[in-house]
Amino acid sequence: MKYPAFLIKYAEIAIKGKNRYVFEDALMHRIKLALKYTDGEFAVTKSQGRVYVNCLTDYDEDEVIAALQTVFGINAICPVVKLADEGFDKLCEEAVRYIDEEYPDKNRTFKVFAKRARKTYPVRSTEMNCALGEAILGAFPEMKVDVHEPEIELHVEVREDIYIYSRQVPGPGGMPVGTNGKAMLLLSGGIDSPVAGYMIAKRGVKIDAVYFHAPPYTSERAKQKVIDLAKIVAKYTGTICLHVINFTDIQLAIYEKCPHEELTIIMRRYMMRIAERIALENGCLGLITGESIGQVASQTVQSLAVTNEVCTLPVFRPLIGFDKQEIIEVSEKIGTFETSILPYEDCCTIFVAKHPVTKPEAKIIRRSETKLADCIDELVEKAIETDEVLNVI
């Protein structure tokens, strides 16, 4: 085992005072869950404002780092060498050995960042910086100190134990899931909504999801695709409680009774209404969609306003100002893209009109919806009864 531990760095701005414990505990919880699926055993500990992953058995470093990179709240992952305190001379020797093993090519610049968190340690940080620097230069004359842009930042931290590290692998940033309430993601099989869920979860929000399917117009394969997408997103968010709602009868009623150019917008309004009901029943404080201004007819500013008016919960639209290409880049990064582009129909594509309204007016849409008055309340209740709950891990 090359590194006996990983130091986990997180942004400290959001975690002043009491929040710090909530944040750190949630972070540790998420780290433990992420590591459960790797080969190896670990103890996740917290000490003096630092979170460490201590490796108890052998492990695959790439696998562990990949798992930690799914944990929101982590800014950097630093593989560290841990030493017992056996005097400063020994520490200098160990630092030299660390550099020797870590950097076979010595033709590099470096800077030492010593930190004396244990104030009883007899050597001060500035003295440590100088002495460690000298020891390294003494051992490897081809190395040079560069205090402005060093190639190697050698960190030496004296705490209860002593830690040496120089590599900082970037984490995903954000905040640990579970520190910011829960929201309901409207998850379709497309490219956008999985990305939207990822982005809101990155802010610490736990995610539930709802998918409206319309059998037989949409296939089992389309449903499986949504489950597969939820699985990928769940790598970052933890278990997603996915509600699958049978939307066929509502869609048929709208198709039969409402003007065809308004189908999509009316359908979207019913999706939002039902999603809100399920959200409220499950303690969600907001809805999440993958909408982006102007992407399609149902996402013009006018359409978004008309869709929005049926909800009282806030609707989070993290992609609202993104171009498609920017959304695709995130979906590739998080691993949903390949699944999203599988060609299975989603329920919108079956019932789309050739010329959908692009500037709907709320009062006209409301009037069209009155044509559903004799059946819609019952259809909505029935649809909610079809709720199939899947815990996607």
Footprint on this chain of ligand ATP (rule: CB under 6 A): 186-188, 190-193, 210-212, 271, 289-291, 295-296, 298-299, 346-348
Nearer to ligand ATP, 135 or 207 (CB): 207
Q: How far is the CB of 379 from Mg ion (least distance, A)?
A: 22
| H or E element, residue 46 | strand 42-47
Angle of helix 263-281 versus helix 301-308 axis, rounded to 10: 40
Site for Mg ion, residues 246 to 265, rule: CB under 5 A? none
Task: Report cis status (omega within 30 of 0) of the bond before 216.
Answer: yes
**Tokens 């997408």, located at residue:** 229
Task: Give the separation between CA 65 and CA 77, rounded to whole angstroms.
Answer: 7
Nearer to ligand ATP, 166 or 193 (CB): 193
Long-range contacts of the stretch 251-259 (C-beta < 8 A, 24+): 251/214, 251/217, 251/347, 251/351, 253/372, 253/375, 253/376, 253/379, 254/351, 254/372, 255/351, 257/371, 257/372, 258/368, 258/369, 258/371, 258/372, 259/368
User: Which one of ligand ATP, Mg ion, none is in contact with 289 (Cβ closer than 5 to 8 A by kind)?
Assistant: ligand ATP
Q: Determine, following the binding rule CB under 5 A, whether residue 190 of this chain makes contact with Mg ion.
A: yes
Residue with nearest beta carbon to Mg ion: 190
Q: Determine, following the binding rule CB under 5 A, whether residue 197 of this chain makes contact with Mg ion.
A: no
Q: How far is the CB of 282 from ligand ATP (least distance, A)?
A: 15
Q: How far is the CB of 189 from Mg ion (least distance, A)?
A: 7
Q: How far is the CB of 235 from ligand ATP (least distance, A)?
A: 18
DSSP secondary structure letters along 73-112: T--EEEEEEEE----HHHHHHHHHHHHHHH-S----EEEE
Nearer to Mg ion, 276 or 346 (CB): 346
Nearer to Mg ion, 349 or 391 (CB): 349
Q: Which of 70, 129, 188, 340 binds Mg ion (CB under 5 A)?
A: 188
Chain length of the chain: 393
# binding residues, Mg ion (CB under 5 A): 3
User: Which one of Mg ion, ligand ATP, none is in contact with 296 (Cβ closer than 5 to 8 A by kind)?
Assistant: ligand ATP
Nearer to ligand ATP, 44 or 296 (CB): 296
Nearer to ligand ATP, 90 or 333 (CB): 333
Tell me how crowded residue 336 is: count the other CB atoms within 10 A of its CB: 25
In 282-382, the DSSP E strands lie at: 287-288, 315-316
The residues that touch Mg ion, with contacts defined as CB under 5 A, are 188, 190, 346
